[in-house]
Amino acid sequence: MTKQPKQSYEILISRLDLLEFIDKFASFFAREKDKDSHAILMLPGDRQFFSTLLQELDSVELKPLPKLAELDTPLIHLQKQGTLSLNEIFSFSQLVGYFIYLKKHIADSTPRTQAWCDKILIPEVIAKLPTFFTQKGEIEKGIYPHIDELYSQIKQTKIRIDESLQKLLHTQALLPYLVDKSVHYINQNECLLLKAGYNHSIKGMVLERSQSGFFYLLPDSILTLKERQNALKDSLEESLYAICKELSSTLAKHLPFLKFLNHCFDIFDSILARLSFAKALNLSFIYTLDSKNHIILHEFSHPALHSPKPLSIDFSGDCLMITGVNAGGKTMLLKSILSACFLSKFLIPLKINPHRSKIPHFKHINAILSDPQNSKNDISTFAGRMLEFSQILNTPNLLLGIDEIELGTDADEAASLFKVLLEHLLENKAKILLTTHHKHLAALMANNPQIQLCAAMYDIHTQKPLFEFLNGSIGKSYAFETAQRYHIPSTLIAKAKSVYGADKQRLNELIERSSTLEITLEQKNKQLEQRINEYDKKLLCLKEQEERQKVEFQTLKHNLQNQYHKATQTLKDALKAKESKEIHKAFNIAHTILTPTQTPPKAHTKAQNLQVNDYVKYQNTRGKILNIKGTTCLVELESGMKLKEKIHNLKKIMQNQTQHTPTLKTPTIRIEQSKSVGVSLDLHGMRGEEAIEKLDEFLSNALVAGYDEVLVYHGIGTGILSRLVKEYLQQHPKSYLLMMLQQIWVALAQKS
Query: Could you read off the pLDDT of 168-205 as tens digits, one per residue?
Result: 998 998 999 999 989 999 988 999 999 998 888 899 99
C-alpha distance from residue 74 to each of 166, 197, 258, 259, 377 (Å): 45, 55, 11, 10, 44
Is pLDDT at 737 greater than 60 in this prediction? no
- The chain-wide mean pLDDT, for the chain, equals 81
d(C-alpha 455, C-alpha 509), whole Å: 15
Measured in whole angstroms, how far is the alpha carbon of residue 451 from the centre of its chain?
36
Q: Are 455 and 473 in contact (CB under 8 A)?
A: yes
Q: Please, which residues bridge with residue 322 across strands?
A: 435, 454
Q: Indicate if 219 and 364 belong to the same structural domain.
A: no
- pLDDT grade for 447, boundaries at 50, 70 and 90: confident
Within a domain: residue 518?
no
Is pLDDT at 644 greater than 50 in this prediction? yes
Most confident of 253-267, 416-430, 532-546, 648-662: 253-267
Which range (182-191, 493-502, 615-624) has the least confidence?
493-502
Q: Indicate if 119 and 104 belong to the same structural domain.
A: yes
- pLDDT grade for 677, boundaries at 50, 70 and 90: low
pLDDT digits (tens, 9 = 90+) for 518-543: 656 777 888 888 888 888 888 888 88
Supply the pLDDT for residue 740: 47
328 is in an annotated binding site: yes
- pLDDT grade for 5, boundaries at 50, 70 and 90: very low
Q: Indicate if 190 and 213 belong to the same structural domain.
A: yes
Q: Indicate if 100 and 134 belong to the same structural domain.
A: yes
408 is in an annotated binding site: no
330 is in an annotated binding site: yes
pLDDT digits (tens, 9 = 90+) for 550-596: 888 888 888 888 877 777 777 666 656 555 556 666 666 666 666 65
551 is in an annotated binding site: no
Q: Indicate if 305 and 437 belong to the same structural domain.
A: yes
For residues 272-301, average pLDDT:
93
317 is in an annotated binding site: no
Q: Indicate if 376 and 263 belong to the same structural domain.
A: no
Q: Which residues contact 63 (CB under 8 A, 6 or more apart)?
A: 101
List the domain range (segments joined by +) for residue 564: 541-594
Within a domain: residue 702?
yes
For residues 298-314, average pLDDT:
90
331 is in an annotated binding site: yes
Instruction: CATH number of the domain at 164, please.
Output: 1.10.1420
623 is in an annotated binding site: no
Percent of the chain with pLDDT over 70: 77
- pLDDT grade for 462, boundaries at 50, 70 and 90: low
747 is in an annotated binding site: no
Q: Indicate if 246 and 211 belong to the same structural domain.
A: no
Is pLDDT at 736 greater than 90 in this prediction? no
d(C-alpha 31, C-alpha 33), whole Å: 6
Within a domain: residue 520?
no
pLDDT digits (tens, 9 = 90+) for 307-342: 888 989 999 889 998 887 666 678 888 999 999 999
Choosing from 281, 314, 342, the residue where a domain stops is: 281
Q: Residue 221: which H helix or E strand, with range? A: helix 220-253
- pLDDT grade for 606, boundaries at 50, 70 and 90: very low
What does the longest C-alpha to C-alpha distance in the chain come to? 161
63: left (phi over 0), alpha (psi -120 to 50) or beta: beta
- Give the number of residues written for the chain: 752
Within a domain: residue 191?
yes
Q: Are 421 and 400 in contact (CB under 8 A)?
A: no
Instruction: Enter the pTM of the model.
Output: 0.62
Domain count, the chain: 6
Nearest by Cα to 430 from 335, 362, 513, 481: 362
C-alpha distance from residue 311 to each of 188, 436, 469, 472 (Å): 63, 20, 9, 17
Is pLDDT at 747 greater than 50 in this prediction? no
Q: Indicate if 307 and 389 belong to the same structural domain.
A: yes
